[in-house]
Structure 1
Amino acid sequence: MIHHSIRFTVKPGTTPEQLETALESLRNQGRVIPSVESFIVGRDFGGEYEWGATFLINDIDGFWDYLIHPAHLHTDRIGLPLVDKFASFDITDDTDPDIGTKIADLHRRRFNEIPDVAGLVSDLPEYLGSAAPGPRGA
């Protein structure tokens, strides 16, 4: 099982309507992406982030399907422009000693194959995560 989690804070000036549209898009990912077993989207307490989401995915093949699904890409395209600080991390109970490398490779592959999303991530003021592309111009 892979638990893919994100934590984020929105930019000042983001309207409640923009935020709700992005949060609803995250919820929609959980509902429509077949490889998502369960999910949660909500407030993030106990840290420096305001919001978060976690998606449970059975295996590495399902994780790739999740990463490139149109519902996920839609969320990236409407949500990332609103984000100030973002962290992405993956937790797994998979015993494959190479699973961490495989997960990071999928993130890199996604950024390589979907350059507009890589650009949105690179434009974030702060991004931490698996295979995060660096800021533009770096």
Structure 2
Amino acid sequence: MIHHIVRMKPKADVTPEQIDEVLACLREQGRVIPAVTSFTVGREHGTGFDFGAVFVIEDLDGYWEYLIHPAHTHTDRVGLPLAERIETYDVSDDEDPDFGPRIAALHHRRYAADPELAALVAALPAAGR
């Protein structure tokens, strides 16, 4: 089981409507990506981030499906340019010591296949990656 966590602090000039759009995109991911078994999207409280999401995914095959799904790609294109700081990480109960590197390899594969996305990620503030 993988819990994929996303946390974001938007840039100072981002409007409430833009934040609502990113939240709507995150919720849509949870609803339409078949690999997502459950999800939570909302405002964060007392963390230094403004909002976040948690997506529960069964395994690495599902994680890849999540990463390349058009709903996820759309959220990246809407949300990444608005981020002052963004943090993503994964929590898993899989005890394989190579599990983390396998997740990282999926991200690298995704960025290699999508130069536009790789450029959006590269443009994030260094502390926000």
Q: TM-score, normalised by structure 2?
A: 0.95
Any runs of at least 4 consecutive aligned residues in structure 1 with deviations exceeding 6 A, and if so which?
none
Q: Gapped runs of 5+ residues in structure 1? A: 129-138
Report the AA paired with residue 27 of structure 2: R
Instruction: Check conservation: 1:121, 1:127, Cα contact below 8 A.
Output: no
Aligned identity (percent) is: 53
- RMSD in angstroms over aligned alpha carbons? 0.9
Aligned to 1:95: 95
Aligned to 1:28: 28
Residue 127 (str. 1) matches residue 120 (str. 2): no
Give the structure with the larger helix fraction.
Answer: 2
Report the AA paired with residue 27 of structure 1: R
Residue 44 (str. 1) matches residue 44 (str. 2): yes
Residue 16 (str. 1) matches residue 33 (str. 2): no
Aligned to 1:131: none
Q: Gapped runs of 5+ residues in structure 2? A: none
Report the AA paired with residue 105 of structure 2: D
Q: TM-score, normalised by structure 1?
A: 0.89
Aligned to 2:61: 61
Instruction: Tell me the distance in 2 between the aligned counterparts of 1:85 and 1:21.
Output: 17
Paired residues for 1:68-83 under 5 Å = 68-83=68-83
Instruction: Tell me the distance in 2 between the aligned counterparts of 1:60 and 1:75.
Output: 20
SS of the aligned residue for 1:45 comes to coil
Instruction: Tell me the distance in 2 between the aligned counterparts of 1:42 and 1:65.
Output: 23
Shift of 1:95: 2.0
Shift of 1:78: 0.8
Number of aligned positions between the proteins: 128
